[in-house]
Amino acid sequence: MNKMTTDTAHRYWNAEWQKSDGSSPWAIPEPWVMDHASTLPSGARILDLGAGIGRHALALAEAGHRVTALDAAEAAVAAIAAAAFAKGLTIETVEAPMTDLPFADASFDHVLAWNVIYHGDEAVVRRALSEVARVTRPGGTFLATMLSARRLPVEQARAPGREISRNTWVFEGPGDKVHPHYFCTAPDLLSLLWGFEVLTLFDRPHEKPGSWHWHLLAERLG
């Protein structure tokens, strides 16, 4: 597979977002996301990259920030626009891939990518992180999660899988991991974060035992 064919998980999520509503677990903001947002000045320019149905975009807009919500899935963008209208919030919604962000350099004070960047092979991940660095202003922050290599044994016990390229796996069965996912160690991840100073990095089960994810906060270098 090449770069053009591995960034495909949005096809699965587009169908999932069509079924999701305010009762979905994907509608609940993550505490760390909101805790960090509370340290930003009011009206900070925030990009929610891979925004899903808008759990963070909506909460961040309600907190007084200027939010742009981007997703490659049409259903996600439509859901956020509808929810923002219903709540009387102003959120710019954009349908686009994470590897080609339609924004000028240094457009944002903060970029959030929760459960997003690892959907693809290493070339996709590198391109997406390069785009994040480009659109983040010097001194701005980047908050993200990445799949940990520590999670691989759990996935392998759950379903047959194969490594299609370096650190990139697909697994049989239901769910989005029939699409390529990138699993990394800390050294691999740090090597990908060109242009950023990593402030916080820790590996922990994300939603349930065995669901290891890297959680990182980084600052854009000048």
Average pLDDT value for residue range 27-53: 95
Which pTM does this prediction carry? 0.91
Task: Report pLDDT for 128.
Answer: 98
- At residue 14, the pLDDT reads 58
- What does pLDDT average to over the chain? 91
Pull the structure tokens for residue 91.
Answer: 């959120």
User: Length of the chain in residues, anyone?
Assistant: 222
CA atoms within 13 A on the CB side of 184: 23
- CB of 193 closer than 8 Å to CB of 131: no
For residue 32, CA distances in Å to 58, 171, 179, 206 come to: 15, 30, 28, 12
Averaged pLDDT, 121-133: 97
Does the structure show a pLDDT above 90 at 2? Answer: no
**Quick one: 201 exposed, middle or buried, by C-beta within 10 A (0-12, 13-18, 19+)?**
middle
Give mean pLDDT, residues 136-163. 95
Look at residue 16 in the predicted model and tell me its pLDDT. 60
Element (H or E) spanning 154, and its range?
A: helix 152-158
